[in-house]
Amino acid sequence: MTKTLYDHANVIFREKSDVLGLLLNTIPDVFVNNENDSGLGKCEIIVDKMSRIIFTLINDGKVFKKFSFNFPFTLKENDEDEDDEDAAYRNKWVIFDLEGERITNQIISILKILFEDDAFVDRIHSDIEPLDFYEQILQAIKEVDLDVTISDNYIWRLVRYLYLFEPGYLRYDYDDTESRRNAINHPLHHLDFYFSSNVTLKLGIADDDKQYRNWKLDSFETLLNNNKPCYYLKLT
């Protein structure tokens, strides 16, 4: 069965490679094809002082998870000639790296092939040689049917950038699993910071549903926006 975008999103993130996998599956579905799985939630990108991609997951009409991470590229609306006979097949958005180089569908396909071949795993096996990794890049380029030449050096620069960029992962959870929920260390409504088990931490939200309803309207997005007023913690 083919996975939908929200099959990829509705999982537990434990490593940076999990974030990269979702990013590479999001770009074709949302920013290229402009598709969104409204039955389970939505995906959006917010660009202000920051640049973040935000997922909202819904079950039975209730938001049970929102999470966000850094969108590591630049996104611009495609303003090419609308009278072009290929307009129906043109991407809605144009994506660039931070150096201004355009990220094409073929480049995303190459990166997805590398991801599926475990090129982005966080724990690199000691038997893997640098030349083996380079060979993976060459093979991925070869697998994509290209009309233009894509430099192996450029793919390597992109891979290195994705290895090193800061995800800034943050998640809101509504977790009503009775066996897990308790007011001391697993509140019903909470924020999870980071994804690695070595550094993750929780922050409870509100004391009751009324406070939560007031908080949830747009507070997750506001919390992420440095141009909005700062939130304060109240210690009790």
What's residue 158's pLDDT? 94
Q: Indicate the range of 46-55, 153-162, 211-220 predicted with least confidence.
A: 211-220
Is the pLDDT score of 216 beyond 80?
no
pLDDT surpassing 80 at residue 220: yes
Distance (Å, whole) CA 23 – CA 42: 14
Q: Alpha helix locations (H) across the chain?
A: 5-9, 16-26, 105-116, 130-143, 152-164, 209-216, 219-224
User: What's the pLDDT at 5?
Assistant: 79
Cα-flanking dihedrals φ and ψ of residue 102, to 5°?
-75, 135
Distance CA 145, CA 223 (A): 43
Cα end-to-end span (Å), the chain:
49
Residue 31: closest CA among 45, 41, 21, 17: 45
Amino acid symbol at 30: V
At which residue do the structure tokens 């790296």 appear? 97
C-alpha 167/C-alpha 192 separation (Å) is: 14
pLDDT value of residue 209:
79
Q: Indicate the average pLDDT of the chain.
A: 82
- What pLDDT score was predicted for residue 129? 66
Query: H or E element: which one contains 170?
Result: strand 170-174
Higher pLDDT, 93 or 154: 154
Tell me the per-residue pLDDT of 177-196, one tens digit each, with 9 for 90 and over: 877 777 777 888 889 999 88
| Mean pLDDT value across residues 214-228 | 84
54-102 residue pLDDT tens: 999 988 888 889 999 999 998 887 776 544 444 444 567 788 998 999 9
Stretch among 39-53, 121-135, 139-153, 181-195 having the lowest mean pLDDT? 121-135
Q: What is the pLDDT of residue 33?
A: 59
pLDDT at residue 21, rounded to an integer:
93
pLDDT given at position 37: 56
Q: Is the pLDDT of residue 168 over 80?
A: yes
**Tokens 């995906």, residue?**
43
At 87, is the secondary structure helix, strand, or coil? helix
Averaged over 35-60, what is the pLDDT?
Answer: 79
> Which range has the worst mean pLDDT, 39-43, 52-56, 126-130, 213-217?
126-130
Q: Which residues contact 59 (CB under 8 A, 6 or more apart)?
A: 40
Residue 125, pLDDT above cutoff 90: no
Kindly state the average pLDDT of the residues 16-38: 78
For the chain, give the number of residues: 236
CB proximity list for 184: less than 8 A, separation 6 or greater: none
The answer to whether 40 and 10 have CB atoms below 8 angstroms apart is yes
The residues, any chain, with a CB within 8 Å of residue 9's CB and separated by 6 or more, are 22, 41, 43, 55, 57
